[in-house]
Structure 1
């Protein structure tokens, strides 16, 4: 079972029961049902995210990442961070307070003009560099960064830490591994031209050379509220199990 009983969940947060069951099924498929890790959520607070916050779609993502936290984290919690021009540690959210997550984020840190991944990655690295447990980071953004070189350096530096980052772009559908097709030329390369235009850098982070282990994954969804829950959880876990194996082989874990 996970870190919280189904009976307790039914009593405290019945709206989470279905998601909890779906995460259980997903984790069974990748043999991570009894896995323990800290879970962190990084939220883009650049101005272009305004509609996603107002529509409640970002709050739905909070709910779904918390479902992973209920399975992985001994406290059944997630640590939430936000970034735009700067990066901020917002706090820890559980069943008791997760519904106020987005309200808390935006009341403390109104939407900003930039999308600086490196600021957020550095904050995550500093927070968890001495963690004795694996750390799973879900990093949501709707745009490219203004400082790609700095973000690359952070990902390379983090490859020696017990941290895996799943980059999730919002705005179009790209499955794990598909973005590599952007390198192709000719007709079939043209079919994937949108990948290069919209999320070229995130795709690059997924295959970035110079790392001790592959510590990042990438996929994109057109609408985070429309994607099937089972599919989303499967995508979130598509590369993390491989990192666990590689990190153990490299004696990082």
Structure 2
């Protein structure tokens, strides 16, 4: 029997976790997908579905129940059903493109969806000992400047924001995330991938998980997340 693509990717994630000394870490994993107008070709050609599958492999290794939480946003946002290995096939087509209740292909506005992410993990599902949350935020450019205020105020929460810029925008605001002052810990990182579909799984996972370990240590030291 041949290994499925998700099983192969989980093996690559495992290697990455070993390299970054993250094998003992349990974390919730979520993905926020830009669904503004410029993203339409990537939804139609299967790139976004592939991104969901690739990130699901990370959730499968980090999260006890193997679930990947999902949001999409343009000027509005939708919190979607979480996806697992059992139901990821055609997830984007079934749950996003075919769903007429989702506002899609408009302009972008990040703070409302970010506030909903924070609400889910810190209000609705608050735990006595905070489990770390790893959010992968896919955007193709032009984020609004007020995201800085959201990220700064969220630094006390057990949430790490890994922004992934795709395409050819300049990502001026996202490039400033690492040098933003006024936070108890550095809770956000940005990587830029011109063509995410052309990036190998090995490189993608290595870059996605590059700053999460240092945030985790800083967050433990400040008691933002539970120590091991």
The aligned residue for residue 31 of structure 2 is 41
The aligned residue for residue 214 of structure 2 is 242
The aligned residue for residue 156 of structure 2 is 160
Give, in whole Å, the separation in 1 of the partners of 2:217 and 2:117.
22
After TM superposition, the score normalised by the length of structure 1 is 0.82
Give, in whole Å, the separation in 1 of the partners of 2:176 and 2:90.
34
The aligned residue for residue 16 of structure 1 is 6
**1:1-253 correspondence runs (5 A):** 14-103=4-93, 104-108=95-99, 109-129=102-122, 130-131=126-127, 132-145=130-143, 147-149=144-146, 151-172=147-168, 198-253=170-225
Q: Is the 8 A contact 2:160 2:212 kept in 1?
A: yes
Shift of 1:207: 2.3
Give, in whole Å, the separation in 2 of the partners of 1:112 and 1:154.
23
After TM superposition, the score normalised by the length of structure 2 is 0.91
Task: Report the number of matched residues.
Answer: 217
Which one has the largest radius of gyration? 1
Give, in whole Å, the separation in 2 of the partners of 1:212 and 1:225.
35
Give, in whole Å, the separation in 2 of the partners of 1:206 and 1:100.
35
RMSD, aligned α-carbons: 1.6
Q: Deviations over 1:101-121 (max 9, x none)?
A: 212122332423211111111
Moved more, 151-160 or 123-132: 123-132
Shift of 1:209: 1.1
Q: Deviations over 1:149-205 (max 9, x none)?
A: 2x1111011100000010000014xxxxxxxxxxxxxxxxxxxxxxxx610101112
Give, in whole Å, the separation in 2 of the partners of 1:100 and 1:79.
16
* Greater share of helix: 1
Structure 1, gaps ≥5 residues long: 1-9, 173-196
The aligned residue for residue 6 of structure 1 is none
Where has structure 1 moved over 4 Å in runs of 4 or more?
A: none
SS of the residue aligned with 2:171? helix
SS of the residue aligned with 1:36? coil
Structure 2, gaps ≥5 residues long: none
